[in-house]
Structure 1
Amino acid sequence: MLRQQDVGHRVVVRRIVGVTGDRALFTDALGELVDLTETDLTLATAKGTVRVPLREVHRAKRVPPARRAVAADVISLELAADEAWPAPVRSRLGGWILRAADNWTGRANSALAVGDPDRPLDEAIDAVVRWYTERGQQPLINAPMPLAAPVNAALDERGWTTRPLTLVQTMPLAALLKTAAGSGLPPVDLADAASDEWYAMVAEHKGALPGTALRILNGVPERVFAHVRDTDGGLLAVARGAVTGPDRWLGISLLQTAPAARRQGLGAHVVRALAQWASQRGSTRAYLQVEERNAAAVALYNRLGFTTHHTYLTRQL
């Protein structure tokens, strides 16, 4: 059976799915073990996240990594995502990036644990705690998996808790642009600046937007704000796109649809518009970050063709 030391590693799980006569029926799942509790285990597979009750597990074991370049790929994408969400207060701890932004979003207020912190791991964690404590903030560490599996293990020993699992999903823009477009939908207006209504819709989900939030949202040279309006000018959907990193990643964030306009295809409509905008600027791949528990959003992105590149856990003291 799997143990906490296996979290962050590639595993195969044989699951009991039924019984025919006196014979058990099995199915196998292969992926990264991202969570293990007393009752369940969670895998990030090529087709999405799978949660398996332990009572259904027949056998499970660790297997070799799929490919050797995973760590470099994770670091590259995480750095592009950090560039797309630029916290105004930053410091370096070796390769780790310490970030603060008046507590607006976990991404901008956590230490990004990628690379070598240039000191033993326990000393690095102590340094993170001091840095955030000096600023009157709760210490948070963003631990991408499987890259930061040793960090997660050390934080487990120290009693740090875990926020909901986040999926980092990716997709080639060429494939995204080939997805079927919705008919009869209002046009997507892509603007260099967000409207007051855009900020208001985002605030309904993210809470009040401090000045720091506006600095983050507008702090990327190549960014765009999507607006979809009805015939009366009412705002139906919004999103933000940003192109960053040497690989020219398109980062899609803050995709929101007004409650009365949901289930009409507006989310996919906006994502395609952002993909077209980014492709004209040399981007070939898109990524987004979504909490695994947000079933509706995960289902939308799966329908579009996004798959999980890696996951991350935000750890808190």
Structure 2
Amino acid sequence: MEFTVGGQLAVRITAADVGKRVSVRRSTGKMGPGERFTDTVGVLTSWNEGVLLVTRRSGEVVRIAESDLVAGKVIPSAPGGGAARRGVPVASEAELTRVAARAWPATENEPLAPDAPDGWLLRAAAGRAGDRTGGPSGFTRRANSVLALGAPGLPLDDALGRVVAWYTERGLPPYVQTGTGPGGASGLPGELERRGWRREVSAHVLVGALAPLADRLPDRAGVRLSRNVDEAWMTRYGRSGGPDPEARAVLRGGPSVWFATCPAPGDATENRMRGEPGAEEPGIPAAIGRLVVDGRWAGFTAVEVAPEFRRRGLASAVMGALARQALEEGASAAYLQVETGNTAALALYAGLGFTVHHTYDHWRAPEEVGP
């Protein structure tokens, strides 16, 4: 692995490269032959307060002190150049699940079993107490459920008891997210069902090649991309019940995050003359979207269009702008998550070249296991 420039080691990455695939070399502090440096390849997922986090393909997160960094560079996300960027990279269910989890991060994360850091992950993003009878009180099930990858690190009944206690302490209903394919926790859905847990929601993870998607979608003037989520974007976003800091933290979290806004066709005066709904709120976008770039993957979330402006190509315009941004950052494949019952969205994305990669479920604890 070559890092030298003119015979000297060089650090050619900065915090602006978060979300890109990098190769870094750091000092180990050891002086013996062959032990002075160690190399890490993965996605630069964070660079804050003098610490870099590099996530390997396996999902392992490597912490690197900036003071130990002796070399670093951005490397291609998909070997082979343009031709490789036209296809969807092969990925296991576990790998893509971890990528999607990094793109929708909870504000509180804790391994279920401290001795099994790569096992089940407890996640919460809630700022208010909830109840056990309604829907999830935190910001989305994805950020308020156990990510069940691999073994829990405890006997199953002990693990589920720990899950129930942990979420009950936070006023949240206990949920477990588990895949249904061979890459999920083996046999877990059946074990949950036998214990009275209820499958509440299922969703498909769809994947598609990014470059053809960007070529197909329109390049519409007026779509604005920003690193920050503003009040107008949040007003259009239908899943947030208000200005909860947890919702904003989840939306802003991820390796390389972009927010897109698309104004209504025509200006406010023209809309008002036509008598169209929303004309009195020219500051609220007609369509929005969110993108998270994580190495070779580009994740689309929160693509929403105001009801009065649907079927005008605004969602495609938003996704097109985000797709082109992802290509600029080196991504080669796209993914998104759609509930299995949303037939209209599934048909739309199938027409854009997306196919089902795997499916996951959210299971809710039975009432009788609670306090």
Give the TM-score category using the shorter length: 0.7 to 0.9
**Which residue matches 2:24?**
none
Tell me how far apart the structure 2 counterparts of residues 164 and 90 of structure 1 sit (CA, whole Å). 22
Cα contact 2:217–2:316 (8 A) shared by 1: no
1:255-284 Cα offsets, whole Å, 9 max, x none, are 000111101111122112111101111111
Tell me how far apart the structure 2 counterparts of residues 209 and 98 of structure 1 sit (CA, whole Å). 24
The number of residue pairs the alignment matches comes to 242
Do the aligned partners of residues 89 and 74 (structure 1) sit closer, same or farther apart at CA in structure 2, a change above 3 Å counting?
same
**Which residue matches 2:122?**
98
Tell me how far apart the structure 2 counterparts of residues 206 and 304 of structure 1 sit (CA, whole Å). 27
Cα contact 2:150–2:185 (8 A) shared by 1: no
- Structure 2 unaligned blocks of 5 or more: 1-89, 127-137, 268-281, 366-371
Q: What is the correspondence of 1:182-221 to structure 2 with a 5 Å cutoff?
A: 185-202=220-237, 204-221=238-255
Farther off after superposition, 205-214 or 272-281: 205-214
- How far residue 178 of structure 1 moved from its aligned partner, in angstroms, is 2.6
Tell me how far apart the structure 2 counterparts of residues 201 and 227 of structure 1 sit (CA, whole Å). 9
SS of equivalent residue, structure 1 residue 152 = helix
The letter for the 1-side match of 2:216 is T
TM-score, structure 2 as length reference: 0.62
Cα contact 1:121–1:151 (8 A) shared by 2: no
**Which residue matches 1:84?**
103
Q: 1:171 aligns with which of 186, 208, 215?
A: 208
Q: What is the correspondence of 1:103-118 to structure 2 with a 5 Å cutoff?
A: 103-118=138-153
The letter for the 2-side match of 1:77 is L
**Which residue matches 2:199?**
162
Indicate the percent of aligned positions where both proteins have the same amino acid.
40
Cα contact 1:83–1:220 (8 A) shared by 2: yes
Tell me how far apart the structure 1 counterparts of residues 164 and 236 of structure 2 sit (CA, whole Å). 34
Q: 1:253 aligns with which of 292, 301, 306?
A: 301
Between Structure 1 and Structure 2, the one with more strand by share is 1
- How far residue 209 of structure 1 moved from its aligned partner, in angstroms, is 4.1
> CA RMSD of the aligned region, Å?
1.8
Q: 2:339 aligns with which of 291, 294, 297?
A: 291
Cα contact 1:268–1:304 (8 A) shared by 2: no
TM-score, structure 1 as length reference: 0.72
Cα contact 1:238–1:254 (8 A) shared by 2: yes
Tell me how far apart the structure 1 counterparts of residues 247 and 255 of structure 2 sit (CA, whole Å). 16
- Structure 1 unaligned blocks of 5 or more: 1-69
1:94-148 Cα offsets, whole Å, 9 max, x none, are 3111101111100000000002222222322222122112222111000111223
Cα contact 1:186–1:229 (8 A) shared by 2: no
**Which residue matches 2:47?**
none
